[in-house]
Structure 1
Amino acid sequence: MSAVLVVHGGAWAIPDDMAQASVEGVKAAACEGFAALKAGGSALDAVEAAVRELEENTVFNAGQGAALNVVGEVALDSIIMDGRTLACGAVSSVKNVAHPVSLARAVMEKTVHVMLTETGANLFAESIGVVTVPTDALVTKFEREDWNKQKSYDTEVMDGFNSQWAHDTVGAVAVDCAGNVACATSTGGIRNMMVGRVGDSPVIGCGGYADNLSGAVSCTGHGESILKVTLARLIISHIEQGKSVEEASRLSLKYMGDRVKGAGGAIVVSPSGQWSASFTTARMAWAAVEDGVLWYGLEPNERKREQ
């Protein structure tokens, strides 16, 4: 069967001056992840490679370019999951690791736990030799300037989806030639979020889920809303009931909007190679590679093709 790799750069009201860079960023990440598949890598290798590329791109709110919390600190969250075994690893509130997705994979492969948080996650990173960086190295001039303008915490972030706030979580899903699926999600959270806040991204079944029996999902959008409806697992549940990946995403995002007034997006891939990229926000940068063809989009119902 053919391998497929899909990535997203976050579902939110991406401003015009960031639109092109966001599209180019997800296209580059999709190609990076698919290259791992072509080289014989697993779906797990592919989603890690794609998300690492996005974490290095300061356009996105993950790794470098992360949002700052209410006291001006970086707090990174990430998850990765292997659909073949249901093994998964996650980290939350990590301070000085450039690639939290790789740290999440290390939690999965080198510990008996699923999630490590804050100091414990950083201590684990040091114990296995993960290269750390000064926290300030993860903060862009743009983010620092915007944070200084918006120091007051906006309750709309908790009460619903305010599209003026950047929720550009990044993520990837893949299926390899053996039919194994995987997902990965990474984020810097919400600008001016409370200290200690953890969103949906590192929570299994919310920010991501992968199971060879049904498919792989990576979610983005208003984290509190995604947590309330366990969005990734909800999408998988619809697939298990016979819905296509596109219909499962559409129904689940509509339910989240109707039930808790939350907006967001999701990328999905099935073990047979079906895939979708859906969102209820103004925009979501996404890209997919299948059979050597690159697909991408930004606006609702947009799907462009590039050889």
Structure 2
Amino acid sequence: MYIGLLEQSGLFNAGEGANRQLDGVQRMDASIMEGAHLKAGAIASIEGILHPITAARLVMEATNHVLLAGPPATAFAQYYKLEPLSKGRALRRSAGRSHASMAVAQTMELYRAMVKSQRMEKDQHGTVGAVALDRAGTVAAGASTGGVDSMLPGRVGDSPLIGCGVYADNQSGAVSMTGIGEGIIRLVLAKTMCDRLATGASPTVAARQVLRLLVSRIKGSAGALVLSPDGRFAIRHVTPYMAAGWWNGIGSPKVRGQFS
């Protein structure tokens, strides 16, 4: 998928550009799923790896598991000699950070202060994701993220949770989510959208209905890439902007920063 290109660009909150948690550490999440056999792989809280999405794919293809997390997930990626994050960029990004060796009590104190002062950046997140349909009719979905701003160490969002941030099934479609993960998890949004597709809803209708549910029930914030097995797709969001693009194999890809 093109997710790897976005991870290495440093322009998005994934891979080289991943956010840091409040202890100064970049812990990244990713997942991938294919719709023919419902195989999936995911990585949570991986450190120092440029392409978490590749690690997630290795979980799917080289193991019988779905999710690996924490230091063992990092060791798994290192075993397969996945490319590390740039040391130079890591040093530049850490310059001026004072949270690198915080004790738990100090981290909690900072987190509470940020919540109280409303410094939780609700609309500034940049999970990268993709949905795809191949010539054999198999749909797939993936996502990679560095999480949200102002995260407690160990926080895991929706991206590595199959059914929440990502889902794919040839009988319904494929979905990749971006946004505030806590809300996406609580409503299991990716699977919920696929279930709407399975009942005959178009990608546009499925995305619109489920995102409205997210807002009405818990005032959540998210965007979605939704693809049906027949190639119809929708890009929807309840945030002011969401950069996304699409390509049908003909001509040049099209990219926009906002979708109705």
**TM-score, normalised via structure 2 length:** 0.88
Please name the residue that 2:19 is paired with.
67
Q: Deviations over 1:56-87 (max 9, x none)?
A: 11110000011011111100000011111110
Please name the residue that 1:168 is paired with.
126
Q: Percent identity?
A: 38
Please name the residue that 1:36 is paired with.
none
Residue 81 (structure 2) pairs with residue 120 (structure 1) = no
Please name the residue that 2:258 is paired with.
299
Please name the residue that 1:238 is paired with.
196
- Contact (CA 8 Å) 1:170, 1:185: kept in 2 or not? yes
Query: Aligned match of 1:108 in 60, 66, 71?
Result: 60
Query: Aligned match of 2:115 in 140, 155, 174?
Result: 155
Query: Relative to structure 1, is the Cα distance of residues 146 and 251 closer, same or farther in structure 2, using a 3 angstrom cutoff?
Result: farther
- Contact (CA 8 Å) 1:66, 1:138: kept in 2 or not? no
Q: Which of 195-204 and 121-130 deviates more?
A: 121-130
Please name the residue that 2:6 is paired with.
54
Higher RCO structure (Cα 8 Å, ≥6 apart):
1
Query: Relative to structure 1, is the Cα distance of residues 245 and 140 closer, same or farther in structure 2, using a 3 angstrom cutoff?
Result: farther
Query: Relative to structure 1, is the Cα distance of residues 231 and 156 closer, same or farther in structure 2, using a 3 angstrom cutoff?
Result: farther
Equivalent-residue separation in structure 1 for 2:154 and 2:177 (angstroms): 21
Deviation at 1:123, TM superposition (A): 1.4
Query: Relative to structure 1, is the Cα distance of residues 68 and 290 closer, same or farther in structure 2, using a 3 angstrom cutoff?
Result: same
Consecutive unaligned residues of structure 2, counting only runs of 5 or more, are: 100-106
Equivalent-residue separation in structure 2 for 1:192 and 1:222 (angstroms): 12
- Contact (CA 8 Å) 2:41, 2:57: kept in 1 or not? yes
Matched to 1:298, the amino acid is G
Deviation at 1:144, TM superposition (A): 5.6
**Aligned residues between the structures:** 248
Equivalent-residue separation in structure 1 for 2:36 and 2:169 (angstroms): 6
Query: Aligned match of 2:84 in 132, 154, 165?
Result: 132
Equivalent-residue separation in structure 2 for 1:214 and 1:139 (angstroms): 44
The SS at the match of 2:200 is coil
Matched to 2:62, the amino acid is K
